[in-house]
Amino acid sequence: MRRRVVVTGMGVVNPLGHNVETMWKALIESRSGVGPITIFDATGYPTTIAAEVKDWNVSLVGEDRSYWDKRGRHTRFAVGAAKQAVQQSGILDSSFDPTRIGVYLGAGEGNQNFQSFTNMVTAGVEEGPFSLSKFLKKGFDIMDMAAEMEQEPNMPAAHLAALFNAQGPNSNCLTACAASSQAVGEATELIRCGDADVMIAGGCHSMIHPFGLTGFSLLTTLSERNSDPTRASRPFDKDRDGFVLGEGAAIVILEEYERARQRGATIYGEVLGYGSTADAYRITDIHPEGRGAIGCMKQAIADAKLNLDEIGYVNAHGTSTAVNDRTETLACKGVFGDRAKLTPVSSTKSMMGHLIAAAGATEMICCLLAIRDEILPPTINQETPDPNCDLDYVPNVARPSKIRVALNNSFGFGGQNVTLAVGTLRNGPGV
């Protein structure tokens, strides 16, 4: 009998809010977090809009800003979300063995410091890569190297382990837009099989920097609706012209059910199922028939031992690109069959943009809140029907709905596909 896994803490920092409840209120009120880019001067780029985290720093979660401001932007977001989740869970107030607490993130790189990178390359070319004394004589600041290292994807997980004395398994995956969903899924498996009792899981990312904007601009995947930013992200709408970059972090505390029950923890839901597949197709294109997406949804449903009529909501990957929206719609039909048009599907990316590696865990939290409050977040900017997208996308306005189980889809470049099934706490032993 495998061990059950429940969620006992949640935290976010993203364009719609600095905590879970603020974000959720904005989603239910159909508010957009998209606006002009202010982090750097985007003049001259085809896209000058994004969904930025505004007016936030680590002092708001009780941390020393002078210390954390030297770390990557993605790390600071992760610290903010993790502090909220850990505090809410109460795991540090209980008698947990620190070697049984782990960290599993889907974290991307931080906001790139191009000047420090240029300094390192220039010094290396002129003096050779092994001559530190010559670097210093040339005025090279050793902190440049430290600053660059802080942008690495594994740094947030390392910092969280140190911050919370989590001495158990520590991993990071960077499977593009599926990363934080995969991190939650893999962390769930570690608890199920007995390798950990608690996992601090989720993701963080910020690609709102010149390199990130340039890359996506060259792929022609970003919206260029610069004069009307709040209407730029419009998943499943015929008049969409691309996705909107976002940034942030989302962390959940996953815990073995019996341990959580015995210590009287508040349980926000159960991770019922996890599916993960690869398209094995093109690097930047989803399989046109949605075979990977269909496969991971079916895996998650089977893993959770669910009937299709038990699933009340799907939080879509829903990026606001024509290919993704059409293919995800096709995949939902391939999984749900006749029930596809009866199952509400919405994209919260329409309001917060695409948080890339942090997207999946954020949207999993949205699923848990939809179940808790019996209300479905909408897909805003649904104005012109797309004949290729003909499901119920909960257009523009949140909808009351009593649901017990939801699916969360995450699909990434390279053909990475992950689906998580979450729901209310089931009665009886694990399966």
Q: What residues act catalytically?
A: 177, 317, 354
* Calpha distance 169→153 (Å, rounded): 16
Which backbone phi and psi does 101 adopt, to 5 degrees? -110, 125
* Calpha distance 373→388 (Å, rounded): 31
Helix (H) or strand (E) holding 101: strand 101-107
Tokens of 378: 């909408």
3-state secondary structure of 81: helix
Which distant-in-sequence residues (6+ apart) come within 8 Å of 420 by Cβ? Answer: 181, 184, 185, 271, 273, 274, 275, 300, 360, 364, 367, 407, 408, 410
- Kind of pairing, strands 313-315 and 345-346? parallel
Contact between 107 and 178 (Cβ < 8 Å): no
C-beta neighbour count of 355 within 10 angstroms: 33
The candidate with the shortest Cα–Cα distance to 111, out of 350, 352, 356, 353, is: 356
Count CA atoms closer than 13 A to 34's CA, side-chain side.
33
3-state secondary structure of 44: coil
Distance, CA of 184 to chain centre: 10
How far are the Cα atoms of 105, 231, 393 from residue 383, in angstroms, in the given order? 36, 10, 11
At 381, the amino acid letter reads N
